[in-house]
Structure 1
Amino acid sequence: MQLKPISQQVVAVVGASSGIGRDTAVKFAQRGAKVVVAARSELGLKSLVEEIQGFGGDAIYVVADVSDFQQVKAIADKAVAKYGRLDTWVHAAATGILAPFEKITPEEFERVVDVTLMGQVYGAMAALPYLKQEGRGALIHISSMEGRRSLPLQSPYSTAKHGLEGFLEALRVELEHEKWPISVTSILPSVINTPFYNKVRTKLGVKPTGIPPYYDPSLVADAILYVAEHPTRDFIVGDVGRVLDALQRVSPSLVDSVLAAIGFVGQRTNEPKSEDAPDNVFEPINGYDRVEGDFKNLIIPSFSDWWDMNPTLKWGAIGLAALGIAAFLGGWHDGKDV
């Protein structure tokens, strides 16, 4: 499967007013792609398009609530109307509520699923006809490590991300069966320093936080740009995410115990915040149209991402390591027989 170089792509980035989506849109434009950005925050989208046009990039925006299929379809339609085609669809829009399950209303739970899962489904529905029209392309869906391992106090969000993983698996096989050269990628970030925790609803009595450590949003944006040119099934961002994925496969009960010990205190800051404070669950809120959140002091580097974006070097290093171990064991065995 061959994807176009980014400089030749028309890219839609949904959920682009802040965080991962905003950084991704800027980086696509810097690489020469024509970009269509969408979100609920018109102020955020306007400032993003102005930023992109300021360095000579080509971008337009569409205001859309992803819980409404017709609004999502309008994003894809406008991309094709403006630029003649659609090559890559990046879907990052999400919202959440941090609260014990028993304190979440049916309407709140449904809303998080509508935005965070159904919005992604609608995105694929809207984009696929145009990707098939081009004969190739990429669907890039921003999931989460919560799609592999749910967290306490985030049951709606974890539910949505698990549902997204199931949806993408089914869709990927259908496209393979139909022999469409369309890449379907799930990006699974660890905890990322974006304004997500500023904007979500909380019923914890304090401002919420992800369980540290955090990673820089640029790591996720770099992964997205990589898979836009290199068909990839899954891409975990952050070393901690890869460790969590391995532990979850080996012993889910061990991860249960770890999260029971750290998952409740680890998602609370010391900053009081009322559940009546403004949030973005049902309506957009102003003031957070930026890439980074408030936890820069908790950011650590990640090393394994680079290896996954350089697979030849990765497997070469693994092969050399295996040969070295084999040679060592062979020499040790020979020495014992002497």
Structure 2
Amino acid sequence: MAGMLSGALPRHRRAVVVTGASGGVGRATALAFASRGDRVGLLARGREGLAAAADEVQRAGGEALVVPVDVADAKAVEDAAQQVADAFGRIDVWVNNAFAGVFSAFTDISPDEFRRVTEVTYLGCVFGTRAALRHMLPANHGTIVQVGSALAYRGIPLQSAYCGAKHAIQGFNESLRCELLHEGSRVRTTMVQLPALNTPQFDWVLSRIPGRARPVAPVYQPELAARAIVHAAGHPRRREYWVGGSTAATLIANAVAPGLLDRYLARRGFDAQRDEGEHSATGNLWSPADGPHGHDFGAHGRFDAESLQGSAEEWVSRNRGRIGAGLLVGGLGAAVTAAGVRRRG
């Protein structure tokens, strides 16, 4: 399925792949790239969500290519990458966003469930990166964006499989970055560490906790993550981006006092991830949430009323260069003023 905006096109119209594009952060990210006029390969399992995402991409001014795929299947991901390259002529940006999770105590997660979360979230990222490099390395061009989380550094209770996979992505990406630097490659990789977001995952994730699963407050809208991912794709020399004040606070606290954070999460981390009510979904671990019911979940979850649209930390992260230059100029100005005062004195 493909579509193209008629008329003038942007000068730098990129060919982008987004995994997990049928809903949540992936859906918002695909739309953010499309608003620039980019061509977007939409990879996910859910056909209803993919069709709706393609329609949104086209209406936003982009071109959409739908490729249904399970990212845990390495061969299928390679084939999907080839489809995108054949349709768009190249791959400029690859965003590894697809994931799966289980909200449960570790001892209540079966080995097959833990394996499945790891295969989708971690190996899906590995397979996506391998497929992207197959096209980017010969061209000596391209950017891979790994969508991470504050949980890539700081594990929390009830999400052991997901936290383990995000930690693995962090280590894998650091190794890959060193290898690309060693080779002098112009292919870049960067990682975007996200906060808690208002996405549909909390209604479709497999859950065994009492009540309904929810993100730990503060909660941000998925468009905040999408803006950061698009910015990272255009500025990949930064090794990683932290999105949201809660991400920065969590990572700093974990670096300074991880034991204290262990005890805090042991006391507060369970209730912070559950709401009153009954979890109605059977989970999307083994099959897409839109499944035979033909339901499109979209980008947003049920937390719009409490979700933040942006954060000061995001602006600082995206504008760090300008801020540094401003501080340098301000510091030089202050030094010159002080020298003048000393001379006059």
Give the TM-score of the pair, scaled to structure 2: 0.89
Within a 5 Å distance, the mapping from 1:294-309 to structure 2 comes to 294-300=302-308, 301-309=310-318
1:8 counterpart (6, 9, 13): 13
The reply to whether residue 252 of structure 1 matches residue 261 of structure 2 is no
Which residue in the other structure is 2:119 paired with? 114
2:146 counterpart (131, 137, 141): 141
Letter in 2 for 1:306: W
Deviations 1:16-68 (A, max 9, x none): 00011111111111101111111000111111112222344211110000110
For 2:216, what is the secondary structure of its paired residue? coil
Within 1, Cα distance between the matches of 2:72 and 2:48? 20
For 1:175, what is the secondary structure of its paired residue? helix
How far off is 1:7 after superposition? 3.3
How far off is 1:8 after superposition? 2.5
> Which ranges of 4 or more aligned residues in structure 1 deviate by more than 4 Å?
317-327
- Decide whether the 8 Å contact of 1:226 with 1:309 is kept in 2: yes
Instruction: Indicate how the Cα distance of structure 1 residues 100 and 55 shifts in structure 2: closer, same or farther if over 3 A, else same.
Output: closer
Within 2, Cα distance between the matches of 1:159 and 1:325? 48
How far off is 1:132 after superposition? 1.2
Deviations 1:243-267 (A, max 9, x none): 1111111110111122122101101
The reply to whether residue 284 of structure 1 matches residue 294 of structure 2 is no
Letter in 1 for 2:46: S
Within a 5 Å distance, the mapping from 1:1-338 to structure 2 comes to 7-231=12-236, 232-273=238-279, 277-286=281-290, 287-300=295-308, 301-319=310-328
Letter in 2 for 1:233: R
Within 1, Cα distance between the matches of 2:11 and 2:83? 20
Instruction: Indicate how the Cα distance of structure 1 residues 325 and 148 shifts in structure 2: closer, same or farther if over 3 A, else same.
Output: farther
- Decide whether the 8 Å contact of 1:34 with 1:58 is kept in 2: yes
Instruction: Indicate how the Cα distance of structure 1 residues 140 and 240 shifts in structure 2: closer, same or farther if over 3 A, else same.
Output: same
Within 2, Cα distance between the matches of 1:263 and 1:6? 48
How far off is 1:289 after superposition? 2.8
- Decide whether the 8 Å contact of 1:6 with 1:228 is kept in 2: no
Deviations 1:272-324 (A, max 9, x none): 226xx421111101135301111122223410111111123321455478789
Give the TM-score of the pair, scaled to structure 1: 0.90
Within 2, Cα distance between the matches of 1:129 and 1:99? 37
Identity %: 35
Letter in 2 for 1:303: A
Within 1, Cα distance between the matches of 2:181 and 2:25? 28
Task: Pick which of 121-130 and 289-298 moved more.
Answer: 289-298
Question: Where do 5+ consecutive residues of structure 1 fail to align?
Answer: 331-338
Report how many residues are paired.
323
- Decide whether the 8 Å contact of 2:48 with 2:296 is kept in 1: no
